[in-house]
Structure 1
Amino acid sequence: MVAVVGRRTVLAGLGALVAGLVAQRAAAEPQVVAVDELAPGAFAWHPERAPAGPVAIVVSIPDQRVYVYRNGVRIGVSTCSTGKPGHETPTGVFTILEKDKHHRSSTYNNAPMPNMNRLTWSGIALHAGNLPGYPASHGCVRLPLAFSERLFGVTTLGTPVIIADAATYPGTVLHPGLVLSDDAKATLQTVASTSAKPARPAKTPKTTTPSGPAISILVSSAEQSIVIMRDGHVVASGKATIAEPERPLGNHVYVLGPVGDDDQRLVWRTIGYYDSTARDVESTPSDTLARIRGDQAIIAAIQNNLAPGAVMITVDLPLSADSRTGRDFVIMTDQAVG
């Protein structure tokens, strides 16, 4: 017996098939949702927008959002949960000190902290955790589990993390300032072939992403000084001469990276950060770099340690224990919490 299928049945079947394919395609494609409309636990992740380059992370406490930038391009945004009253998350500039995919808290009942990126040895970190939609942690920055896995895969030791009440989007500063020559690529190649093997931190990370040494350069207008740190250790310091010293330098984070995937030039990409929504409009990133000078010894030390991914931070604070927590290289605007 041969079944006879009518034209109406065929059309109905084709319609269902097309509808199913459209639904599958829609489910596979990223959904466009406004950042401020993300529900607790939601995130967006688009690493293809910038396949390579230095990574920088911005945590906005008022918005309870985490923004991830690679080579100056935003590749991810996520909801988060920061410290609750009495355990506020400290604000400032941090660098990732340790990575541990299966970390457990030594302070809070061995609580799991998956995909942990440590920011301070006193206990502040980025990790997966519960997100109720408001600040609820003991000081850490909690993230959705799936987002924390993706973030863990793109960070390295030394990746800058800016935690602030407000921050600017990354911009490109084409002026190389005091630390780069006109032929930056040749300079860095020379440095890479002659620099000594870096010392490792006293505390060896359990899990790390392969990368070069973490280079951090701190410039303080308050003390007219420059400090260079390599893998958490001070390797050089010297005097900074600031043009128009009566004007603040402003709070800026510069990350050194290539102009593009195939471009041989290197530039600083910058993010400004603030304790409040009030912004210092008189101190632009390019203007800040142009105002900083150092003697020959400190410039040579910078060039001998410089590499793509290096971080330079300008502050108007003194480089005391109140603003820099030893080898953590944490530039804090609030008191650290445990």
Structure 2
Amino acid sequence: MKRISGRMDRRGFLAGAGACAVAFVSMEVAARQVLKEIGDLEPGEFTWHPDRQPDGPVAVVVSLPEQLVHVYRNGVRIAVSSCSTGKPGHSTPTGVFVVLQKDKHHHSSTYNNAPMPNMNRLTWSGIALHAGKLPGYPASHGCVRLPLDFSEKLFGITHLGTPVIIAGSHSDPWELKHPGMVLSAYAEDEFETVEASLEDKKHPKDWLAAESSPITSVIASSGDRKIMLIENGAVVAETGLNIEGDYPLGSHVFLLKGGNAKTRGLHWLAISHNTDVDGTFQPEERALHRLKADQRFLETMKPRMHPGMIMILTDAPLHPDTRSGKDFVIMS
């Protein structure tokens, strides 16, 4: 994937979107909603059951080995679709992404104005979810191609900041209720502070068109024992990270749902996306309890927290080689 150094203007951003385009004009998309077991889905087929969970935060997991896209809402899987990811020499990057831009009628400025319907941009350098040809194997220039009908349905429930995890394997999201503020020792009176910081704040999916609230993300790395606070792609705080033990954290994504009165703390959706299966990685809850940050970082983070905030744990170091410019993404 092409890296970005420095700032780009909007024209440069849009030009990069063509990096994964194909000759879309002559494309035939055999999109079809079916009632099948996931393992039996053919290219172009998908399942869609939004009634299983009508509301809540959405998370998208792209499984490269399966060539499948899993869609979760409030931790419940509501859809699975076949897909086509990057071919050899143009592999789809793995890691944690967020939707940076949505364009229902996007056209590539690089590949003869080729249409890329229902585009959810993941990086400014050209990686996106969009409708495209599905031959049954990885065939794109890096993007994740989807059946046309499925891409339209997915476009209707994503928003800026929706997490998209591209990985070798994953687990279904599950709810985690963490006492007190994360990244600090538990204090009995801390819940009031946490609750006050989240009061009247909406999830990004509830923002009106005129609202421009910043999207906040936190990345914690065991690779260099650092933690980073990111707001709309810009690093606003960075500090050392105290980690109990010297064994790996694994790769985890936490999506903040809000406060939880029962635990007097925070309510998260947790998603693992480890590619290792040797059992060395820690469960999400144990990994989260191992982390502590200094008070100055916590005071910077508290007022910026909002429902839908993403926290990522990774064993990759937080240097430019593992981050795609201002895209915020952790590249693995």
* TM-score computed with the length of structure 2 as normaliser: 0.79
Q: Is the 8 A contact 2:98 2:122 kept in 1?
A: yes
Equivalent AA in structure 2 for residue 329 of structure 1: F
1:209-220 aligned within 5 A: 212-220=213-221
2:58 is the alignment partner of 1:32: no
Name the CA distance, whole Å, in 2 between partners of 1:105 and 1:227: 33
Q: Is the 8 A contact 1:80 1:131 kept in 2?
A: yes
1:183-202 aligned within 5 A: 187=193, 190-191=196-197
CA RMSD, 1 decimal: 2.8
Question: Which of 232-241 and 278-287 deviates more?
Answer: 278-287
Which residue of 2 is the match for residue 295 of structure 1? 294
1:1-338 aligned within 5 A: 32-176=35-179, 177-178=182-183, 187=193, 190-191=196-197, 212-244=213-245, 246-257=246-257, 266-275=266-275, 278-333=277-332
Match of 1:190, SS state, is helix
Equivalent AA in structure 2 for residue 270 of structure 1: A
Describe the shift of the 1:253–1:193 C-alpha distance in structure 2 as closer, same or farther (beyond 3 A).
closer
Describe the shift of the 1:183–1:141 C-alpha distance in structure 2 as closer, same or farther (beyond 3 A).
farther
List alignment gaps of at least 5 residues for structure 1. 1-29, 196-207, 334-338
Describe the shift of the 1:109–1:164 C-alpha distance in structure 2 as closer, same or farther (beyond 3 A).
same
Match of 1:302, SS state, is helix
Name the CA distance, whole Å, in 1 between partners of 2:125 and 2:183: 34
Describe the shift of the 1:211–1:87 C-alpha distance in structure 2 as closer, same or farther (beyond 3 A).
same
Q: Is the 8 A contact 1:250 1:283 kept in 2?
A: yes
Measure how far apart 1:280 and its partner are: 3.9
* TM-score computed with the length of structure 1 as normaliser: 0.78
Measure how far apart 1:141 and its partner are: 0.2
Describe the shift of the 1:51–1:211 C-alpha distance in structure 2 as closer, same or farther (beyond 3 A).
farther
Q: Is the 8 A contact 2:256 2:309 kept in 1?
A: yes
Q: Which has the larger radius of gyration?
A: 1
Which residue of 2 is the match for residue 11 of structure 1? none
Question: Which of 74-83 and 99-108 deviates more?
Answer: 99-108
Measure how far apart 1:32 and its partner are: 3.4
Measure how far apart 1:70 and its partner are: 1.1
Measure how far apart 1:191 and its partner are: 2.5
Name the CA distance, whole Å, in 1 between partners of 2:129 and 2:43: 16
Which residue of 1 is the match for residue 3 of structure 2? none
Q: Is the 8 A contact 1:250 1:280 kept in 2?
A: no
Equivalent AA in structure 2 for residue 268 of structure 1: W
Identity among equivalent positions (%) equals: 52
Q: Is the 8 A contact 2:194 2:259 kept in 1?
A: no
Measure how far apart 1:185 and its partner are: 7.7
Describe the shift of the 1:307–1:187 C-alpha distance in structure 2 as closer, same or farther (beyond 3 A).
farther
- Equivalent pairs, count: 289
Measure how far apart 1:292 and its partner are: 0.2
